[in-house]
Amino acid sequence: MAIGVFDSGVGGLSVHHALVRRLPSADFIYLADQAMTPYGGRSGEEIVSLTRAGCERLFDEGCDLVVLACNTAASVALRRLQQTWLPGYRRDRGRPLNVLGIIVPTIEAATGLPWTQETERLGDRDRGDKIERLDVLGIFCTPATAASRVYEIEIDKRRADVAVFSEACPTLARDIEAGAPEADLRADVEAHVRALTRRIGRPPDRAILGCTHYEITADLFRAALPAGTPLIHQPGATAEAIALYLERHGEYAAGSGGARRFLTTGRPGAQNGLIERFWGGPLTFDAA
Ligand code: DGL
Does 236 sit in the ligand 1 pocket, CB within 6 Å? Answer: no
Is the omega angle on the peptide bond into residue 38 within 30 degrees of 0, that is, cis?
Answer: yes
Select the more confidently predicted residue: 253 or 91: 91
Report CA torsion sign: 47, 48, 51, 53.
Answer: negative
Per-residue pLDDT at 42 exceeds 80: yes
Q: For residue 279, what pLDDT is reported?
A: 82
Per-residue pLDDT at 36 exceeds 80: yes
Report CA torsion sign: 87, 91, 92, 96.
Answer: positive
Per-residue pLDDT at 271 exceeds 90: no
Sheet holding 63-68, edge to edge: 98-100, 63-68, 2-7, 28-32, 260-264, 284-287, 269-270
Q: Are 141 and 166 in contact (CB under 8 A)?
A: yes
Per-residue pLDDT at 126 exceeds 60: no
How distant, in Å, are the alpha carbons of 40, 145, 232, 243 from that of 139? 14, 10, 10, 25
Does 14 sit in the ligand 1 pocket, CB within 6 Å? Answer: no
What's the mean pLDDT in 1-15? 95
The SS3 call for residue 139 is strand
Instruction: Sort strands 269-270 and 231-232 into parallel, antiparallel or unpaired.
Output: unpaired
Does 215 sit in the ligand 1 pocket, CB within 6 Å? Answer: no
What's the mean pLDDT in 201-218? 96
In the set 55, 63, 70, 141, the catalytic residue is 70
Verify whether residue 211 is a known catalytic residue.
yes
Give 184 Cα–ligand 1 centroid separation in angstroms.
18
Report CA torsion sign: 235, 47, 165, 153.
Answer: negative
Task: Give the pLDDT confidence of 141-151 residue by residue, as tens digits.
Answer: 999 999 999 99
Domains in the chain and their CATH numbers? 2-102+235-287 (3.40.50.1860), 104-233 (3.40.50.1860)
Ligand 1 atom with the smallest distance to the CA of 212 is: 4
CA distance 109 to 130: 23
pTM over 0.85: yes
pLDDT band, residue 120 (cuts 50/70/90): very low
Closest CA to 169 of 155, 154, 184: 184
Task: Give the pLDDT confidence of 87-102 residue by residue, as tens digits.
Answer: 999 999 999 999 999 9
CA distance 66 to 37: 19
Does 11 sit in the ligand 1 pocket, CB within 6 Å? Answer: yes
What's the mean pLDDT in 16-26? 96
What's the mean pLDDT in 106-121? 77
